[in-house]
Structure 1
Amino acid sequence: MTPPPKPPVEHRGLITAMIMLATIMQVLDTTIANVALPSMTGDLDASADTINWVLTSYIVAAAIMTPVTGWLADRIGKRELFLASIVGFTLASMACGMAWSLPSMVGFRLLQGIFGAAIVPLSQTFLLDINPREKAGQAMAVWGAGIMVGPIIGPTLGGWLTESWNWRWVFFINLPLGIVAFLGCVAWLPRAGRVIRRFDFFGFAMLAIALGSLQLMLDRGAEVEWFAALETWIYLFLMLTGFWVFVIHILSTDKPFLEPAMFADRNFATGLVFIFVVGIILLASLALLPPMLSHIFGYPVITTGMVMAPRGIGTMIAMLLAGRLLRLVDARILVTMGLSLTAVSLHMMTGFSPQMDSTPIVLSGVVQGLGLGLVFVPLSTVAFATIEPRFRADATSLFSLVRNIGSSVGISMVTVMLTHNTQINHAELGAHVSAGNPQLWQLSPEAAQGAALPLSVIDRVVTQQAAMIAYVDDFRLMMLITLAALPLGLLLRRPQASASAAVAAD
């Protein structure tokens, strides 16, 4: 039986614009501060190791608070929670911009993560609520564009603000965005009913311990040499114990923190696995490309942003097309096409070399953007097409949480491999370098004239080649992960209600 159509929502376009403005503001902060860390080090009297807590504190706080979004939305109202999140995030951003020491910055970043955690899942919930089923694909295209393009432009915008003004403007820029988004949401965002639901404190505590330990392990692992340090083993123990107790608890209690029934929906469960893979590919690639373009190709920050910009354009084009194609084409076909294009782009990236120009980087970026866009929209639509509306706030928060965990896992994985493989490649390449090799004469004008080639020049070239091989190995690994995810598309099913509504609308 086809569900009755939703009553029309007034000012839907303005509501969407204001919701997405708040979403982009929050998503930008996941990457915009990265390039400003070196500038913060001196002003905040921090070391190169401790300054990373500026990133870690935000990630951990957001991870812990994201799952509680559904309960808070039911308890105080989705509209009220969204407005409070915008205000809190904006004020915390201003406080970050005025931070006077590392402890104060870490504290304000914790507040940013706490208030910002609900913005992304609630924005997805609102867009699903205010749009009829036949327009869900287009709504998810708009939402996905903000989610995926935000991290792409974040490093470029952060670099420009840091170079042109000051690192504090990386946070101050959120003030006008937050004010406009808040006023627009106050004026047009519809009210929703409240549901009194008991808060499962024990379940939340176990999940918070597990998520916090996981994020700390992923973020701190490289600094403490992973399992060579007791700290990492403690995080691993707390993570495994927390997740195990949490799963047992929600399966055995009457009113758990997260309803296990939502995982019985095959589309939603498969969507969580898919979005985990998308998280790995999206931000892992973003974490690799800027340092590669800077250290190996010598591109400045602005040039790096321009070279990576076409990737974002490809993503937006694919999302806009996918939102309309969903009414005509099976979502499984679009997901398969998207993953295939993503795998092709990563294969193209395995052919990178220090001698090439920017053309292969731009082309592979466009193809990857098209692929990720074709995956994200149908996945976001189908994952929530058959789940019960009462689970929607919890489900969207889990969707965002799993995507963020995938991003953290992906970044840690490729970073560890990059460091490890660079060292191995340097040793292997260095073992075959001989002062009598005539090919070395091409590296220096002095050597070509018969002078001895400086060891520093040899080491620089070997290091560059070793790093390039390590980057290529990372791209190959992500290609294999993408190909391994392709069979998951067979588990998705096209919801009959959605299809019927689309036909009726046509």
Structure 2
Amino acid sequence: MPPPSFPPLTGNRLVLATVALSLATFMNVLDTTIANVALTTIAGDLGVSVSQGTWIITSFGVSNAIAVPLTGWLVGRIGQLRLFLSAVVLFVLLSLLCGLATNLETLLLFRCLQGLVAGPMVPLSQALLLQCYPKAKAGMAIALWSMTTTVAPVMGPVLGGWLTDNVSWPWIFYINVPIGLLAAWLTFVTLKGRETEPRKLPIDTIGLSLLVLWVGATQIMLDKGKELDWFNSSTIVALAIIAIVAFTFFIIWELTEKHPIVDLTLFKGRNFTTGTIAITLGYAVFFGNLVVIPMWLQSVMGYTATWAGLVTAPIGFFSIILSPLIGRTIHKVDPRLFATFAFFIFAVCSFWRSTFSPDVAMWDIVATHLLQGFAMATFFIALTTVILSGLEQQRIPAASGLYNFMRIMAGSFAASVWTTLWENGAIRHHSYLNENITAYSEPTARFEESVRSLGLNSQQIYRAIDAEVTRQSLILSVNDLFWVSGVLFLALMGLIWLSRPVRQGAPPAKDGGNH
């Protein structure tokens, strides 16, 4: 069914509607990164390990990903504007409850619910904004919307770090309350009377249940794996079996269901398949590093949450400046060139970080994030163009929902995998370094002499040596992760050239660009 036709808004009403929808999007996207720099503090306050603290991010991401494919069905049953306003108000309420949580279990419950209500907000804000502008200015509407989604992830670590250090970590959630209430009120005032008619639509209940089951089982397995010693635990084995069986039945069911919750036939298209794999894997590696870097800066390098946020913030500088320019030129240049450029810059930054030593200067860390902004400017726009290239207009909403589901889900999985790989790598390096600590080792003797001059006794000296070995091990492990990230980004440069984007103006391919 085509979207409803409403007259474009003008004047102050258009300005206020744009501000309202942008604020809601900003609040939503901000929550994907604002907790990253606060994980160490939250884990300490709640009495859990830092790796358990990452569940705060993964629980939000997984539930968010599951809710995205439901957006179309919910719009039909509730109405576009009513669903958006309900989601914003519930998001505000759950943000308040997250801040009031006193233990990890309660916080994770509210984060899961917050992710569920957040799912429809981003696609609906884009759809509502496009209805406010005349078709001739649709590009301007998308540019304004994209600026918000670019600024929010950059502001997240800075704002989260400052609030954690200078107020308290619950305020990373409380900050959503005034923003969300203002966004909801402005949206209601400016868009009143522009509601879609609800209609009864069938829902793929079995498909949805299988989706929740295999995604949930996989995420719990990744989160609890290290704690339970992976496949030596019957719980992890059971979760793996549930995930595999549910995923297999999900694929079979969705391919045979008349109204599937996820249209898997989109993968018949070469452009959709290659573009979706590239954006899913690329985002997973990017997000995994985005979670690990603040943790490394705080727990190993001695940075405060504020400085960890400030050091990572420059990633958005060139992204914000260049995104509108890329948006205006993407139809004139092969999007595969832009995507290749993005992966190349990501790889360069990763290999550069893999050379970091314990005494790396702050400005070197800042420089890698500043350079990465060039990649961020082209990454999403180019790959989205490839994914949707050649698709018939009526299939674009389903395609957008599916690739965003995979991208968000991959980010959540990567947060767990990257922190586990970092900790396991540190254990391996610690064991190797310990083999070289002997009474005849010259570096050991020098270190022992330097700490002995501080008046430490033998037991304190041994503790100091172990602390330094642990620190070195964590740095060597994170360097390994950066190097692997670089290799993966180089591999994705080749993958994207398997696509065949359709030039603008060419007729859409029925198979989504197979030919």
Range into which the TM-score falls when normalised by the shorter chain:
0.7 to 0.9
Q: TM-score, normalising length from structure 2?
A: 0.85
Question: In the alignment, residue 445 of structure 1 is paired with which amino acid?
Answer: S
Is the 8 Å Cα contact of residues 90 and 178 (structure 1) preserved in structure 2? yes
1:153 aligns with 2:158: no
- Higher deviation after alignment, 448-457 or 272-281: 448-457
In 2 relative to 1, CA 144–403 (structure 1 residues): closer, same or farther, beyond 3 Å?
farther
1:461 aligns with 2:468: yes
Cα deviation code 1:413-455 (max 9, x no counterpart): 3222211221111111221223343434553535579998822
Question: In the alignment, residue 275 of structure 1 is paired with which amino acid?
Answer: I
Cα deviation code 1:382-403 (max 9, x no counterpart): 4335434434443333232211
In 2 relative to 1, CA 141–439 (structure 1 residues): closer, same or farther, beyond 3 Å?
farther
In 2 relative to 1, CA 224–449 (structure 1 residues): closer, same or farther, beyond 3 Å?
closer
Distance in 2 (alpha carbons) for counterparts of 1:112 and 1:390 = 30
What does 1:94-493 align with in structure 2 at a 5 Å threshold?
94-99=96-101, 104-126=106-128, 142-147=144-149, 149-189=151-191, 191-192=195-196, 196-440=200-444, 442-443=446-447, 445=450, 447=452, 454-493=461-500
In 2 relative to 1, CA 389–179 (structure 1 residues): closer, same or farther, beyond 3 Å?
farther
Question: In the alignment, residue 156 of structure 2 is paired with which amino acid?
Answer: G
Distance in 2 (alpha carbons) for counterparts of 1:133 and 1:269 = 29
Distance in 2 (alpha carbons) for counterparts of 1:451 and 1:438 = 19
In 2 relative to 1, CA 224–154 (structure 1 residues): closer, same or farther, beyond 3 Å?
farther
Cα deviation code 1:28-57 (max 9, x no counterpart): 22333355456656877x655876665554
Q: Secondary structure at the match of 1:30?
A: coil
- Higher deviation after alignment, 473-482 or 90-99: 90-99
Distance in 2 (alpha carbons) for counterparts of 1:160 and 1:18 = 25
Q: TM-score, normalising length from structure 1?
A: 0.86
Cα deviation code 1:305-347 (max 9, x no counterpart): 2211211223323423321231432211111111111111111
Distance in 2 (alpha carbons) for counterparts of 1:33 and 1:181 = 22
Distance in 2 (alpha carbons) for counterparts of 1:387 and 1:193 = 27
1:10 aligns with 2:15: no
Is the 8 Å Cα contact of residues 310 and 366 (structure 1) preserved in structure 2? yes
Cα deviation code 1:162-213 (max 9, x no counterpart): 3322333222111111122212322445544655421111111111211211
Distance in 1 (alpha carbons) for counterparts of 2:240 and 2:325 = 42
In 2 relative to 1, CA 306–233 (structure 1 residues): closer, same or farther, beyond 3 Å?
same
The Cα of 1:220 is off from its aligned counterpart by 2.2
Question: In the alignment, residue 487 of structure 1 is paired with which amino acid?
Answer: G
Mark the runs of 5 or more structure 2 residues left unpaired by the alignment: 508-515
The Cα of 1:251 is off from its aligned counterpart by 1.7
Partner of 2:511 in structure 1? none
Question: In the alignment, residue 9 of structure 1 is paired with which amino acid?
Answer: P
Runs of 4+ in 1 over 6 A off after TM superposition: 41-44, 49-52, 128-138, 448-453
In 2 relative to 1, CA 388–14 (structure 1 residues): closer, same or farther, beyond 3 Å?
farther
Question: In the alignment, residue 342 of structure 2 is paired with which amino acid?
Answer: G
In 2 relative to 1, CA 400–424 (structure 1 residues): closer, same or farther, beyond 3 Å?
same
Distance in 2 (alpha carbons) for counterparts of 1:81 and 1:200 = 19
The Cα of 1:128 is off from its aligned counterpart by 6.3
The Cα of 1:151 is off from its aligned counterpart by 3.7
Distance in 2 (alpha carbons) for counterparts of 1:116 and 1:130 = 22
The Cα of 1:115 is off from its aligned counterpart by 1.0
Distance in 1 (alpha carbons) for counterparts of 2:225 and 2:462 = 33
In 2 relative to 1, CA 498–175 (structure 1 residues): closer, same or farther, beyond 3 Å?
farther
Q: Secondary structure at the match of 2:301?
A: coil
Q: Secondary structure at the match of 2:241?
A: helix
The Cα of 1:10 is off from its aligned counterpart by 2.7
Distance in 2 (alpha carbons) for counterparts of 1:121 and 1:262 = 19
Instruction: Give identity over the alignment, percent.
Output: 33
Question: In the alignment, residue 212 of structure 1 is paired with which amino acid?
Answer: G
1:72 aligns with 2:74: yes
Distance in 2 (alpha carbons) for counterparts of 1:318 and 1:245 = 44
Cα deviation code 1:252-306 (max 9, x no counterpart): 2323223344444443333321221232132111112112222332222222222
In 2 relative to 1, CA 215–178 (structure 1 residues): closer, same or farther, beyond 3 Å?
same
Distance in 2 (alpha carbons) for counterparts of 1:150 and 1:231 = 38
Partner of 2:513 in structure 1? none
